[in-house]
Chains A and B, each alone.
Chain A
Amino acid sequence: MNTNMFIKLIVTAGALLLSITASAGTLEDVKKRGHLVCGVNNGVPGFSAPDDKGRMQGIDADVCYATAAAVLGDASKVEFTPLTAKERFTALSSGEVDVLSRNTTHTLHRDAALGLNFTYYNYIDGQGFMVKKDLGVKRALELDGAAICIQQGTTTELNLADYFRANNMQYKPIGYETAPQTRDGFDKGACDVLTSDKSQLAAHRTELKDPTSAIILPETISKEPLGPVVRQGDDVWFNIVKWVVYAMINAEEAGINSRNVDKLRENSDDPNIKRILGVEGEMGKNLQLSNDWAYNIIKQVGNYGESYSRNVEPLGLARKGSVNALWTRGGVLYAPPIR
């Protein structure tokens, strides 16, 4: 009886510790599974937040839908996994999610040391401050001694410390775990200032009990290029996610949107449009996808401009004249050609 026990013990322990499920490429995994698992933020309106019916909406969520459309031909085949800032990278590298589309800032450290690959940017952001109007603060340099609500585990925390150090000011951090908690704390008066990426501040402002009681200060204290992230070492998958974002931008540049895409596929003579929509060339095949990959994205999700005006514009963040405009309109969004 004893020996039996040992064997069982050892076998169980061994099985637990050694069960390495050899993972094939992410592309095959997703195809086999039949849906994409996408790590998102749970509750930042405009980026990813459930709507009344519980469907995830936002510019980050759209990257997930677009990737599913390109890979599986059906934008609805996405399972969203809400992640906190702290657990997002572990979730990606352990394979819990296929792609992380959770307003994540591209930095050297994350790129080089964390085993991540940043694809491209779907929103270029910068950190700012939101304050209650009645404090009479007009500039960030007047914030010496303020209590500042902040979400833990973000680069925001570090930028804030750097900014105050550089300007020789003091602050009291009030750190919460999640974005909604942080906003709630600010709304109820636990702090004077809320700091975060400006797009998030705009979103949070709409969620305050009285949105007119707070203003966003003009200063931008950091560069926050946000975009989808994948694991290092799977170049096929890296290319796919990267080109999904490029395709949305290229589509906008070429004037293709979800309404005219069918018509253009039928009767456009522009070789660029023909290549994008898979009428000419083998662009999709190169990515190990079907040739109508970009058509599916545009048809089911829309181009970048449509995604932006659907999700981000309602927050009061105008695109015109901002860095997030296309390069042809004075912004920095510039996608390599599909050819």
Chain B
Amino acid sequence: MAQQHQPMPDLPPPITSTGVIGWMRQHLFSSPMNIILTLLSLYLLSIIIPGMINWALLDASWTGTDRSACEANPNGACWTFINVRLTQILFGLYYGQHPDQAWRPITAFVMLAGLIGLLTLPRMRFKAWLGIGTIVFYPLIAFALIHGEWLGLPVANSSQWGGLMLTFILASIGIVAALPLGILLALGRRSEMPLVRAFSVTYIEFWRGTPLITVLFMASVMLPLFFPSGVDFDKVARAIIGITLFQSAYTAEAIRGGLQAIPRGQYEAADALGLGYWKKMIFIILPQALKISIPGIVNSFIELFKDTSLVSIIGLLDLLNMAQTASRSLEWKGYDVEAYTFAAMLFWIFCYGMSRYSQHLEKSLHRGH
């Protein structure tokens, strides 16, 4: 009977390669070069971080109702200012003047957050229906709440909208309205009819080649000239038209990516079933293609969300402009850094959140064909 060989149990790894020390050795001090880099980085951080923490948190003013509170500690940030003007920066002039009405945009926000929360849950039933319902009905509900006329509430006209609310309104209407246009353009770009293809390519490349600010200038100055006199849109509507046309080109490109990823067999199978072009697209191709395009669309939404800040140049009081206006007011002049930092933080939270979500989607949709 052969004696079965019993190997000695493994020795535990040396203390220097496990735990905190091991990790640090491996990740921070593995070579002379690395040691230098680590020390350099630590030095850099030691300059920046304590100063920032002192300014933003430890020395900052948080309470009070006017600038005297902030003038007492000039080395810290003046969050009092943001605190006092918060309703205005979030919801614009009208709700800044009527803080008792602020529940309306807040309700709309909370509803949207709830709906999006439900939609991002991985195991939700009737997700598609909920999604369509959100896209169709939510804007109406939100409009009714924010504008107020339909519900018999005090009316807040669109010229009085502003702040983060306006940023949201512009970006979401832009992306939703651009979707159907984008689908048609993406289909057109892959169409077999040369003129349709040429039109789609020209349209897409035209908008992609033009800076958004020129588009917005066009929308604010030239759009009224395009129509016979007497036809007029208000300023917010003009901006939305400009943003939608611009965005549809980017959406189209995102969807085209999705269409290209659909294997030929799917088209051929649909043809073999005798489906016509529209039936084939609506029931077979688009449902698959749109699903693949979602990360791309989310990414272009992030860009759009950031880009809506450009409407401040044509004088709309979006989040950026509202923060800026507040920091230029007589009461709070000089607190620019706080205003910009606060606006930047809000933008960052939404954009970073969305980009993480889009990365997650990309991974989970990656099924491979």
Asked whether the complex places CB atoms of A and B closer than 8 A, the reply is yes
Which of A81-89, A158-166, A291-299 is the contact stretch?
A: A81-89
A50→B235 CA distance, assembly (Å): 19
Q: Which of A82, A90, A184, A209 contacts B224 (CB 8 A)?
A: A90
B220, A21: Cβ atoms under 8 Å? no
Do B328 and A90 touch across chains, with their CB atoms under 8 A apart? no
Nearest-neighbor residue (CB-CB) of B97 within chain A:
A54
State whether B313 touches A177 (Cβ < 8 A): yes
* CB neighbors of B among A17-75 (8 A): 17-23, 42-43, 45, 50, 53-54
Known: A20-B231, A21-B231, A180-B325. A84 touches B315 (CB 8 A): yes
Within 243-279 of B, Cβ neighbours of A (below 8 Å) are at 276, 278
Q: Are A178 and B93 in contact (CB under 8 A)?
A: no
Cross-chain contact A19 with B221 (CB below 8 angstroms): no
Stretch of A92-100, A134-142, A253-261, A275-283 that contacts chain B? A92-100
Q: A90-B221, A90-B225, A178-B315 are in contact. Are A19 and B231 (CB under 8 A)?
A: yes
Judge whether B3 is part of the interface by a CB distance below 8 angstroms. no
B227 CB–A CB distance under 8 Å: yes
Q: B213-225, CB under 8 A of A: which get 1 and which 0?
A: 0000000110011
Known contacts A50-B93, A84-B315, A87-B221; is-contact A93 B229 (Cβ 8 Å):
yes
Residues of chain A lying within 8 A (CB to CB) of residue B328:
180-181, 183-184
Residues in chain A near residue B97, CB distance under 8 A: 53-54
B68 to chain A, nearest CB (A): 16
| A157 interface hit (Cβ, 8 Å) | no
Counting CB contacts under 8 A, is B96 at the interface?
yes
A12 to chain B, nearest CB (A): 12
Q: Could you say which residues of chain B place their CB within 8 Å of the CB of A252? A: none
A59 vs B325: C-alpha distance in the bound complex, in angstroms? 22
Q: Cβ of B220: which chain A residues have Cβ within 8 Å of it?
A: 87
A79 at the interface (CB under 8 A from B): yes
Size of the chain B interface, CB-CB below 8 angstroms: 27
Give chain A nearest CB distance to B91 CB in angstroms: 13
A96–B93 Cα distance when bound, in Å, is 20
Q: CA A79 – CA B225 in complex, angstroms?
A: 24
From B225, which residue of chain A is reached at the shortest CB distance? A90
Q: How far is the CB of B318 from chain A (nearest CB, A)?
A: 14
Q: Any chain B CB within 8 A of the CB of A111?
A: no
- On whether the beta carbons of B334 and A86 are closer than 8 Å, the reply is no
Asked whether A82 and B230 contact (CB < 8 A) given A1-B276, A90-B221, A180-B325, the answer is no
Question: Chain A 280-324 against B: per-residue CB contact (8 Å), 1 yes, 0 no?
Answer: 000000000000000000000000000000000000000000000
Complex contacts, A42 vs chain B, CB 8 Å: 315
Do B330 and A207 touch (CB < 8 A)? Answer: yes
B96 near A94: Cβ-Cβ < 8 Å:
no
Q: Does B333 contact A (CB under 8 A)?
A: yes
Query: Within the complex, what minimum Cβ distance (angstroms) separates A202 from chain B?
Result: 14
Chain A proximity mask over B291-319: 1 for CB below 8 Å, otherwise 0: 00000000000000000000001110000
Cβ of A1 and Cβ of B225 under 8 Å apart? no
| Chain B residues in 8 Å Cβ range of A180 | 325, 328
Question: CB within 8 Å of B: which of A104-161?
Answer: none
| Residue numbers in B under 8 Å from A184 (CB-CB) | 328
B205 at the interface (CB under 8 A from A): no
Of A20, A87, A178, A209, which one neighbours B228 at CB under 8 angstroms?
A: A20
Q: Does B71 contact A (CB under 8 A)?
A: no
1/0 per residue, CB under 8 A from B, across A194-215: the answer is 0000000000000101000000
Q: How far is the CB of A246 from chain B (nearest CB, A)?
A: 29
Say yes or no for B192: interface residue by CB 8 A criterion. Answer: no
B149 close to chain A: CB less than 8 A? no
- The minimal Cβ–Cβ distance linking A314 to chain B, given in whole angstroms, is 12
Q: Which residues of A contact B100 (CB under 8 A)?
A: none
Chain B residues with CB below 8 A from A87, complex form = 220-221, 235, 314-315
Residues of B within 8 A of A (CB): 93, 96-97, 157, 159, 220-221, 224-225, 227-232, 234-235, 276, 278, 313-315, 325, 328, 330, 333-334
In the A-B complex, the 10 residue pairs with the closest CB atoms: A54-B97, A94-B224, A94-B232, A84-B315, A180-B328, A95-B232, A23-B230, A20-B228, A96-B232, A90-B224
Give 16 CB contacts A-B under 8 Å: A20-B231, A21-B230, A21-B231, A23-B230, A82-B315, A84-B314, A84-B315, A86-B221, A90-B225, A93-B229, A94-B229, A94-B232, A96-B224, A96-B232, A96-B234, A183-B328
